[in-house]
């Protein structure tokens, strides 16, 4: 399905970002109209985040949290409360599923449920091999100007001996 924004010009000039554009297009198509349960996305530091989801009425055993291949999935399945005769039911108890796309190296480090709010903490942990590192310039190669001077001296000596 096409989104309202056309990523074709960006796809032509960006190599290796296909997954990003696919994710943006699919989230634009699937996110239309679904807003239950409400949530907040908070950046707590440069590499740490928190997602808070309002799950009033759900117990710990009715919520399932799964992180798999850069996707965080939170599902809520309300157990059937047979026997209650509601005159009005204003508190939403429908099942839900929320998906969050996670960037590379973002891991869920914890989850807590208190006062009807599910709080998930996330942290970006970049592997040491992927962090920028300074590369020192070694002194084993002869500098260019020294090579040219050595070649001129060599040619001068050869012409003097001839």
| Structure confidence by residue, pLDDT tens digits, 4-54 | 677 777 777 777 777 777 777 766 655 555 688 999 999 999 999 999 999
pTM: 0.63
| Structure confidence by residue, pLDDT tens digits, 84-124 | 788 888 877 789 999 998 988 899 999 999 999 999 999 99
Please tell me the chain's helix, strand, coil percentages from 3-state DSSP, rounded to the nearest 5: 25, 30, 45
Cβ-count burial of 49 within 10 angstroms (0-12 exposed, 13-18 middle, 19+ buried)? buried
3-state secondary structure of 132: coil
User: With b meaning 16 or more CB within 10 Å and e meaning fewer, what string describes 118-150?
Assistant: bebbbeeeeeeeeeeeeeeeeeeeeeeeeeeee
Which pLDDT belongs to residue 1? 46
Cα within 13 Å of Cα(143), Cβ side: 5
Q: Which two tokens stand for residue 116?
A: 């009807």
């Amino acid at each position: 399905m096409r989104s309202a924004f056309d990523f074709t010009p960006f796809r032509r000039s960006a190599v290796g970002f296909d997954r990003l554009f696919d994710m943006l297009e699919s989230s634009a198509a699937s996110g239309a109209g679904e807003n239950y349960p409400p949530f907040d996305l908070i950046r707590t530091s440069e590499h740490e985040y928190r997602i808070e989801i309002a799950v009033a009425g759900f117990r710990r055993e009715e919520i399932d949290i799964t992180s798999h291949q850069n996707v965080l999935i939170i599902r809520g399945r309300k157990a059937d409360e047979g026997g209650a005769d509601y005159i009005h039911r204003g508190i939403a108890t429908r099942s839900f599923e929320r998906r969050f796309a996670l960037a590379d190296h973002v891991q869920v480090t914890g989850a807590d449920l208190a006062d009807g709010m599910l709080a998930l903490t996330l942290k970006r942990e970049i592997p040491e091999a992927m962090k920028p590192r300074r590369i020192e310039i070694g002194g084993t190669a002869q500098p260019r100007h020294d090579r040219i001077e050595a070649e001129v001296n060599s040619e001068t000596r050869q012409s003097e001996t001839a």
